[in-house]
Structure 1
Amino acid sequence: MRSHWVAGFAVAVLGFSAGVCAKVSEAEAERLGNELTPIGAERAGNSSGTIPAWTGGLETPPADWGPGQIEVNPFPEDEPLFVITADNLDLYRDRLTDGHIRMLKQYGPEFVMPVYQTRRTAAFPQDVYEESRDNALSAELLSNGNGVRDAIMTSPFPIPENGLQVIWNHILRYRGEELSFRSSSATPQVNGSYNQVVNEYDYFFAYSRRGADLADIDNKIFYLKTDTIAPSNLAGTITLVHETLDQIRSPRLAWRYDSGTRRLRRSPNLAYETDLPNSSSLRSVDQKDMYNGAPNQYDWELNGKREMYVPYNAYKLHDEEVEPDDVIRPQHINQQLARYELHRVWVVEARLRTGISHIYSRRVFYVDEDSWQILASEEYDSAGELWRVSEAHNISYYGEPVFWTTMEMTYDLKAQRYYIDGLDDGFQAYDFSPGFRGNEFSASAARRAARR
């Protein structure tokens, strides 16, 4: 069941009842599943054939994969079609992000971009496709983008009209109902030396729970608990986050348990430009998952759709045989393990609103049409200079049909260092059915878990 009371309270309080963005017509929605894919991408390939038609994505796992195993590469025979370097980038400039052009120039010849055959692997469960169509008919964006109403489970705007709708599609994209996994992050020094921080992540996606209605989710997108495993001086640190759908009406709730003080405390500043914990000030909190949180600090502009070389199908980086030492290099990752493909992406530009303070004055996002996943972004400093470049290397998971990151990194062009998350050091496969209950993510439950 749907309820017309989701973030709608903000309309009444803030006086924006006349400013919502309209849902699409029945005729427009009929395009979904026809010339558009069920989540709104162009089903057809491009005129040159370098982008194929979407034919359902990677719906069946490879025969040599079994439940509980780490995903194997479904395209082991693929070899690069060509490699973009600092020397030949002008041949491909029109299909490169400004961030990648800068990376090629600044870090060449070591930084290269191997380009492979385009594989449109993104696939989701059938009921996600059905909810996508229902969302198209009912979802509305509140004035100033402070919330979304009348949407559930997946991206609310499969046929977007503006940049804010595209960003909300990323924020609310389907990532399963729950998930538990372990991974490590690092912030390598300029010479490549690094230490790992290992975290266990537990997600409970209230917004995407099957059978839930909008009243049930209590304005929540998801609950997240992270437990730091290593190094020893950080082990036992717990962070709990309740991510809200309308963060202006009900801001994100966050708590942090410090094993040194043995107390669970509210963390009201875990948002926006605050340094992401354990990132050596190389990444802000709102860069986690490429972009998260309330979008109210920026004015958003949709700059259309482009064909671009972007990270995609990163099964080499995800391979269980690949260790952190294989990935990490000075100033950037081992690009021989990266895979780029030509895909159509929505280009969204965010400019800091007048009177708002944030370390990034301008941001540009490149959003995959097939999944609503941000694949790459650029972050500009207060003087308007390109400061950081971020990438999300993604795969289609097999335990649950979702297209999501396996590894993210933010490159700081000034410090010539980077933050990387998603390193695998012999960890188990992602568990998309750990059997969580919502009450396991309360502050009192986190407090009890910390004391054990």
Structure 2
Amino acid sequence: MRNLVCIGWTAAALMVGGQAMAKVSEAEAARLGSDLTPVGAERAGNADGSIPAWNGGLRQPPAGWSVGEREINPFPDDQPLFTITRANLDQYRDSLTEGHIAMFETYPDYAMPVYQTRRTAAYPDQVYQKLKVNALSAELLDNGNGVRNTIMTSPFPIPQNGLEVVWNHILRYRGEQISFRSASATPSVDGSFNPIVTEYNYFMAYSEPGAELEDIDNKIFYLKTETISPPSLAGSITLVHETLDQIRSPRLAWRYESGSRRLRRSPNLAYETDLPNSSSLRSVDQKDMYNGAPNQYDWELLGKREIYVPYNAYELHSEDHAARDIIQAGHINQDLTRYERHRVWVVEATVRTGISHIYSRRMFYVDEDSWQILVTEEYDNDGNLWRVSEAHNISFYSVPVFWTTLEMTYDLNAKRYYIDGLDEGQAALDFEPGLRSSEFTASAARRAARR
């Protein structure tokens, strides 16, 4: 790995009697909010100044924005510092992932506009307070299949191994309730596409104010999706109860297909199963860049790197750009993207002996300022790089919270991609929709399907 800063943890520090240790000392936890940010990132900038110090993130919305409106670009005057192309690729190889290098090698017109680094990730004060509490108490369960003594947000702001970093992503704070509509698409090789509009409703049990771990019935969140268009798919519903320890209590999922008019359990809506409406270009466990039980892989924390990653994607989020402005043949319109130099945690996942998965190895590049996975690489069972995924994120002002506005998975063999989060014609995300957990039962989904 290029420019990799190694983590010098010993095996004894990671595993004691089969239990992965996690709790840190009072002295270590005191670093949060000091030389480390409240989330656990390095507060200071880097040596050459290309990464600035974190100064609190984007805590206040820009002038001209109001709650209920789509987020506007807080940096409208920013221009690219330079653009990476195939012609100058060698100059920047050490600051790119293998997946991005493969994108340049696959698509002659692929480019990455690089902007000034702005460390905008920010969260509410109660999240920062809970991060410090979690640092002192959180532990991995045996074999890392769950966590205990943690609530609301990432459990391990000072991580000691790869599993802790992955759990930080899975349990990162994304608000308490979220309701929105967006579109996904699987463009053909020529760039033609038919969008599928879906309504999402999240009830984040793990992050509810005042919630305690023993009160949430092993649930991270409840999710109900309903397909709005096209008419041939409209009315299809998915209901998910995402569990904290998926080995003790696996994810519960139901699907209602408008054609069959029946709500059925979907026990296989996990792991390598094709993500619905993805044309087999993405697996279920790639949704949100990675989700679900981590028990199919061995996880290794390789250290940190300074690389160019998608960040502050306000142009892709802007209501000024229709889906046809974003979607192109082979890859999205890179003129609308924004890449910045950031520090990321690098985690390698290798499929465990005896486990079958379409991806034998996966690389994860995790933002130090938010615990959001920004880029992944997926390798086939012959060890070849197969797919590259990106998460383009913004700060949602009303919370605040740093979260994905657009995700895509590129298939380097098929030269096609899956894209999700297209906002054309849709209202802004609602972080206070007034949802209740009772709306996420199977009977409630069945009643909704019959209306």
TM tier, smaller: over 0.9
> Could you tell me how far 1:20 is from its partner in structure 2?
3.4
> Residue 445 of structure 1 corresponds to which residue in structure 2?
444
Alpha-carbon offset, residue 22 of structure 1: 3.4
The answer as to 2:306 corresponding to 1:307 is yes
Q: Indicate conservation of the 8 Å contact 2:237/2:449, yes or no.
A: yes
**Counterpart mapping for 1:43-122 below 5 A:** 43-108=43-108, 110-122=109-121
The count of corresponding residues between Structure 1 and Structure 2 is 436
Question: After TM superposition, what 4+ stretches of structure 1 lie above 2 angstroms from structure 2?
Answer: none
Q: 1:79 Cα deviation (Å)?
A: 0.3
Q: Residue 18 of structure 1: CA displacement?
A: 5.2
Q: Distance in 2 between matches of 1:194 and 1:259?
A: 22
Residues 14-68 of structure 1: per-residue CA shift (max 9 Å, x gap): xx97513130000100000000000100000001110000000000000110010
Structure 1 partner of 2:211? 212
Mapped partners of 1:17, 1:299: distance in 2: 18
Distance (Å, rounded) in 2 between the aligned partners of 1:87 and 1:155: 40
> CA shift at 1:311, angstroms?
0.2
Tell me the residue number matched to 1:175. 174
Aligned to 1:3: none
SS in 1 for 2:22: coil
Paired with 1:323 and 1:132, the residues of 2 have a C-alpha distance of 38
Matching residue of 1:5:
none
Normalised TM-score (structure 1): 0.96
> 2:147 aligns to what?
148
CA shift, 1:143, in A, is 2.4
* SS of residue paired to 1:199: strand
Letter in 2 for 1:343: H
Deviations 1:192-245 (A, max 9, x none): 011011000000000000111111111000000000001111000000000000
CA gap of 1:22–1:406, structure 2 versus 1, over 3 A, is: closer
Structure 1 residue identity aligned to 2:341: L
Q: Secondary structure at the match of 1:305?
A: strand
Contact 2:152–2:208 (Cα < 8 Å) also in 1: yes
The 5 Å alignment of 1:381-400 reads: 381-400=380-399
Where does structure 2 lack aligned partners over 5 or more consecutive residues?
Answer: 1-15
In 1: Cα distance, 2:20 partner to 2:207 partner = 23
- Aligned residue type for 1:76: P
Q: What letter corresponds to residue 35 of structure 1 in structure 2?
A: D
- Kindly state the Cα deviation for residue 162 of structure 1 after the two structures are TM-superposed: 0.4
Q: What is aligned with 1:7? A: none
SS in 2 for 1:325: helix
Taking the aligned partners of 2:292 and 2:367, their CA distance within structure 1 comes to 19
The answer to whether the 8 A contact 2:22-2:160 is kept is no
User: What is the CA-CA distance between 1:440 and the residue it aligns to?
Assistant: 0.6
Equivalent-residue separation in structure 2 for 1:213 and 1:302 (angstroms): 29
Per the alignment, in what secondary structure is the counterpart of residue 70 of structure 1?
Answer: coil
Superposed CA deviations along residues 301-349 of structure 1, whole A, max 9, x for unmatched, are 0010010000000000000111000000001000000000000000000
Cα deviations by residue, 1:363-399 (Å, 9 ceiling, x for unpaired): 0000000000000000000000000000000000012
| Partner SS for 1:133 | helix
Match of residue 359 from structure 2:
360
* Alignment gaps of 5+ in structure 1: 1-15
TM-score by length of 2: 0.96
Look up the match of 1:13.
none
How far, CA to CA, are the matches of 2:102 and 2:436 in structure 1?
45
Judge conservation of contact 1:181–1:202 (CA < 8 Å) in 2: yes
Deviation at 1:142, TM superposition (A): 1.6
Partner of 1:163: 162
Please tell me whether the aligned partners of residues 25 and 137 of structure 1 are also in contact (alpha carbons under 8 angstroms): yes
Residue by residue over 1:238-286, the C-alpha shift from the partner in whole angstroms, topping out at 9 and shown as x without a partner, is 0000000000000000000111111100000000000000000000000
Q: Does 1:194 align with 2:193?
A: yes
TM-aligned CA deviation for residue 138 of structure 1? 0.1
CA RMSD of aligned residues (A): 0.8
Alpha-carbon contact 1:21-1:142 (below 8 Å) kept: no
Alpha-carbon distance between aligned partners in 2 of 1:274 and 1:104, rounded to the nearest angstrom? 29
Q: Partner of 2:327 in structure 1?
A: 328
Write the distance in 1 (CA, Å) between the matches of 2:20 and 2:304.
Answer: 24
Is the aligned partner of 1:294 residue 2:293? yes
How far does the alpha carbon of each residue in 1:119-173 deviate from its partner, in whole angstroms, 9 at most, with x for none?
A: 0000000000000000000000122211100000000000000000000000000
Q: Is the 8 A contact 1:181 1:431 kept in 2?
A: yes
Partner AA of 1:88 in structure 2: N
Check the 8 A contact 1:318/1:406 in 2, yes or no.
yes
Which whole-Å CA distance do the structure 2 matches of 1:305 and 1:143 have between them?
A: 26
1:406 is paired with a residue of what secondary structure?
strand
Aligned equivalent of 1:264: 263
- How far apart, CA to CA, are the structure 2 residues paired with 1:22 and 1:227? 38
Identity of aligned residues (%): 74
Contact 2:278 2:418 in 1 (8 A): yes
Question: Relative to structure 2, which stretch is displaced further, 18-27 or 440-449?
Answer: 18-27
Question: What's the counterpart of residue 244 of structure 1?
Answer: 243
Structure 1 counterpart of 2:145, one-letter code: N
* One-letter amino acid of the counterpart of residue 49, structure 2: G
Provide the secondary structure at the position in 2 that maps to 1:215.
helix
Specify the code of the residue in structure 1 equivalent to 2:411.
Answer: D
| Aligned mates of 1:47, 1:321 — CA distance in 2 | 37
- Conserved? CA contact 2:22–2:159, under 8 Å: no
- The answer on whether the counterparts of 1:21 and 1:143 sit within 8 Å (CA) in structure 2 is no
SS at match of 1:22: coil
What letter corresponds to residue 40 of structure 1 in structure 2?
G
Contact 2:22 2:156 in 1 (8 A): no
Q: Provide Cα deviations, 1:167-194, integer angstroms capped at 9, x if missing partner.
A: 0000000000000000000000000011
Asked whether the 8 Å contact 1:178–1:205 carries over to 2, the reply is yes
1:32 aligns with 2:35: no
Residue 399 of structure 1 aligns to a residue whose secondary structure is: coil
- Report if aligned partners of 1:83, 1:113 keep a CA contact under 8 Å in 2: yes
Q: 2:374: which partner in 1?
A: 375
Alignment partner, residue 12 of structure 1: none
Q: 1:28 corresponds to which letter in structure 2?
A: E
